[in-house]
Every structure is written in C-alpha cells, then in structure tokens.
C-alpha cells in the first residue's frame, strides 16, 4: 500500500487500481468508485463515501466490522429498530425511512445497571451481549437487540462478558437513513 502511494506520488500520474479489499481501497485511494453489478454506484473520497454512503450496498462495503443495517419504523420521538431496543430521538428523520444504518464505532455500550443496582434508562436501551471479540486496542461486541444482532466496536478491552445486559445508544447525528429501494435519504 505504501509503495503504491509512493509510486503514484513520484510519477505524478493518475493510477487506476482495482481491488476487492476495502481496507486497501480506503488506505491507497484519493478517490474511489464503488461498483455493483458492473455499474458505478458512488464515487468520491474514501472518507466521504464512508461517512455518507449512497445506499445500503455501499454502506456495507466500507468498514470493518460493516455497518449495521436494521429495519426501522417511525416512533413517537423519532425512529425505532430492533423491536424498540434502538430508539433514535430524531424528529428530523426522513418520513420515508425504512432502515437505519449504525456504524459499529458509533454505538455506545454501557453497563445496564448503575452501581446501586438500578437503571433509569438514560444510558440507553437494554441489550444482551452475545459475543465478545477482543482485538487488542479494540473489542468487537455482538449484541442481541430484540431479534436483531448488531456489532459495536469499543476501544480497549472493556470488562464485558457474554450474556451480560448492557445499555446501547447512538447519537442521532451519526445515524444513516435508507429508503425502500436501499438508497440513502437526506435529513
């Protein structure tokens, strides 16, 4: 990767490089073209595509673990997914959204019970830890939220064990909304 970037910089020429490795594409490219069934679905800088994917297809391609895509419905305060386990208080959510996307690093995971053994729900909604994958500097936690499984990416090695109850939440500004056709919706 470093060598490819050096060669391109030294030559000062446009280099077209085809890869199926999303990490390679993100680290090498100045611009990316995402193809689906032979058609270009989105072009742009890697960070732009990562932060604003044009569709659920594009959203799932970039990021490891991939973006969580969940069926959603409009609730009283915004959007709900995973049988109400995930509630996004966002009255500006598009009316025609049928799915939400949550990047694993944007999901906040906290203990469900406070030190005194109670929870007032302000830390988030309850979910059960399904699986824990320590990776050194990061830990991937798979959560059971209603019938859905979603993955959160946490810094470090938190003391979280399978079957524990945790509170999950996400900032409304970090949620991606998708319509019936899978296309991204603007707020």
| pLDDT at residue 85, as a whole number | 83
Each residue's pLDDT tens digit, 157-183: 999 999 999 989 899 999 999 999 999
Phi-psi region of 82 (alpha: psi -120 to 50; beta: other; left: phi over 0): left
Residue 8 binned pLDDT confidence (cut-offs 50, 70, 90): confident
Task: Please answer whether residues 89 and 77 qualify as being in contact, where contact means their C-beta atoms are separated by less than 8 angstroms.
Answer: yes
Phi-psi region of 105 (alpha: psi -120 to 50; beta: other; left: phi over 0): alpha
Each residue's pLDDT tens digit, 62-95: 999 999 999 999 887 789 898 888 888 888 889 8
Each residue's pLDDT tens digit, 105-135: 999 998 886 555 555 555 567 899 999 999 9
Task: Please answer whether residues 101 and 172 qualify as being in contact, where contact means their C-beta atoms are separated by less than 8 angstroms.
Answer: no
Quick one: what percent of the chain has pLDDT higher than 90? 62
Paired strand residues for 109: 168
Task: Please answer whether residues 82 and 147 qualify as being in contact, where contact means their C-beta atoms are separated by less than 8 angstroms.
Answer: yes
Query: What is the full DSSP assignment across 48-106?
Result: HHHHS-SBHHHHHHSSSSPPEEEEEEE-SSSEEETTTTEEE--TTS-TT--EEEE-GGG
Which residue, among 92, 159, 82, 95, has the nearest Cα to 126 in the 3D structure? Answer: 82
């Amino acid at each position: 990767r470093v060598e490819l970037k050096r060669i391109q910089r030294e030559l000062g020429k446009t280099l077209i490089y085809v890869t199926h490795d999303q990490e390679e594409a993100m680290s090498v490219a100045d611009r990316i073209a995402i193809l689906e069934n032979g058609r270009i679905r989105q072009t742009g800088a890697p960070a732009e595509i990562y932060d604003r994917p044009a569709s659920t297809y594009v959203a799932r391609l970039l990021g490891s673990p991939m973006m969580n895509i969940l069926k959603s419905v409009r609730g009283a305060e915004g959007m709900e997914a995973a049988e109400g386990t995930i509630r996004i208080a966002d009255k500006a959510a598009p009316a025609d959204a049928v799915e939400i996307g949550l990047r694993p690093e944007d999901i906040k995971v906290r203990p469900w019970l406070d030190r005194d053994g109670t929870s007032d729900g302000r830390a988030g909604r309850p979910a059960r830890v399904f699986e824990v994958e320590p990776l050194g500097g990061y830990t991937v936690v798979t959560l059971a939220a209603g019938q859905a499984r979603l993955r959160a990416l946490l810094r470090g090695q938190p003391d979280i064990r399978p079957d524990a109850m945790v509170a999950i939440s996400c900032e409304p500004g970090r949620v991606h909304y998708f319509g019936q056709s899978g296309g991204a919706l603007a707020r």
